[in-house]
Structure 1
Amino acid sequence: MIKTNVMRILDKIKAEYEVITYDVKDDKIDGISVSKKIGREEKYVYKTLVTKGISNNIYIFLIPVREEIDFKKVAKVTNEKRIEMLDLSELQHYTGYIRGGCSPIGMKKQYRTFIHESALEIETIIVSAGKIGFQIEINPNSLKDVVGGEFEDLIK
């Protein structure tokens, strides 16, 4: 089986996780499609959103795939006047990942990371394993520890 950098990082620190793979031949790699392909409820599958504040700081937000980020809430938790999505053309430069394979673990640099507080209500969440077609299922507190994350209300 393929090991992504995310898996290697988790193996090195002996974090518990499960690998989930899905077919990408149809090019449907959005979070809702992924949740259907892996047969899991959308509330367990989280998307990784990469944003930039007016200060030019990069922030990472993990929210359930069906939800929409609330830019006023995230500006408040980051103490930014305004936050915007990072332009896709800049994603690989800042993170080392491409759209559909962007994991909060193993980015080029460890950015301040926030996980939506709904993750605290479930035993495991599913996030990208750093490669299209691969996801990992991990305990939200373990993920928080790995990425130095914070739980906050981030959605509309």
Structure 2
Amino acid sequence: MRKPYDGALWVRKKHERGTGSTPATVQLDKAGIAFTTYEYAHSNDHMDDGYGVEAAAKLGFDEHRVFKTLMADTGSERVVGVVPVSGHMDLKALAAAVGAKKASMADPKVAMRESGYVVGGISPLGQRTHHKTVLDESALQYDEILLSGGKRGFSIGINPNDLIAVLGAVAAPIGTW
């Protein structure tokens, strides 16, 4: 359940095909996937909790429904994990989900270069380099989850099954609380 937003103006709108503004929305448009866009005024103040927590607070969504995109390195490849902003990514579980022995967080500069996005705006969609993607299975309990739309202050609402389909992703228990 959303709580009322008490801060800067935000916009929620059903996305109309052909109006893509980021590589993430362009990928969804090309795939014919329905989604909703959410915009809010991003602030660098009080970023101790992270960009995703800021999005959840400003948009009035439960932190379990707002997901962050993290990149990890397995030694042989980089993989993307998508987990709720309310927790952390279990690197051992992520490695197991992609058939690797171990994983460590990728350097933020590498994540930005390979995704084409800035930290705080990295989306699993429309990345410059395609990576295996694992979505935390907790997402499957919702009809819509929020994730970065490719820039700070811009989120996408999408059905998790559609996200899995468009990315060729898998769902696995990779989040910890």
Structure 1 residues 41-75: Cα deviation after superposition (integer angstroms, max 9, x where no partner): 111100001111122x0100101001111122112
Q: Work out which of the residue numbers 58, 69, 74 in structure 2 matches 1:37.
A: 58
The 1-side partners of 2:148 and 2:113 are apart by: 18
Whether contact under 8 Å (2:23, 2:127) holds in the other structure is: no
User: Aligned AA for 1:34?
Assistant: A
TM-score, structure 1 as length reference: 0.93
The 1-side partners of 2:56 and 2:93 are apart by: 26
Report how far residue 30 of structure 1 moved: 1.4
Whether contact under 8 Å (2:26, 2:126) holds in the other structure is: no
Q: How many residues align?
A: 155
Between 1 and 2, higher relative CO (CA 8 Å, sep ≥ 6) is seen in 1
Q: Work out which of the residue numbers 22, 27, 46 in structure 1 matches 2:40.
A: 22
Instruction: Name stretches of at least 5 consecutive residues in structure 2 with no aligned partner.
Output: 1-18
Whether contact under 8 Å (2:34, 2:158) holds in the other structure is: yes
The alignment partner of 2:88 has SS state of: coil
Report how far residue 26 of structure 1 moved: 3.8
Structure 1 residues 78-123: Cα deviation after superposition (integer angstroms, max 9, x where no partner): 2222201111121222111110110001111221000010111111
The alignment partner of 1:135 has SS state of: strand
Q: Work out which of the residue numbers 81, 105, 111 in structure 2 matches 1:91.
A: 111
Instruction: Name stretches of at least 5 consecutive residues in structure 1 with no aligned partner.
Output: none
The alignment partner of 2:57 has SS state of: helix
Q: Work out which of the residue numbers 159, 174, 177 in structure 2 matches 1:139.
A: 159
Whether contact under 8 Å (1:4, 1:130) holds in the other structure is: yes
TM-score, structure 2 as length reference: 0.82
Cα RMSD of the aligned pairs, angstroms, is 1.6
The 2-side partners of 1:121 and 1:71 are apart by: 22
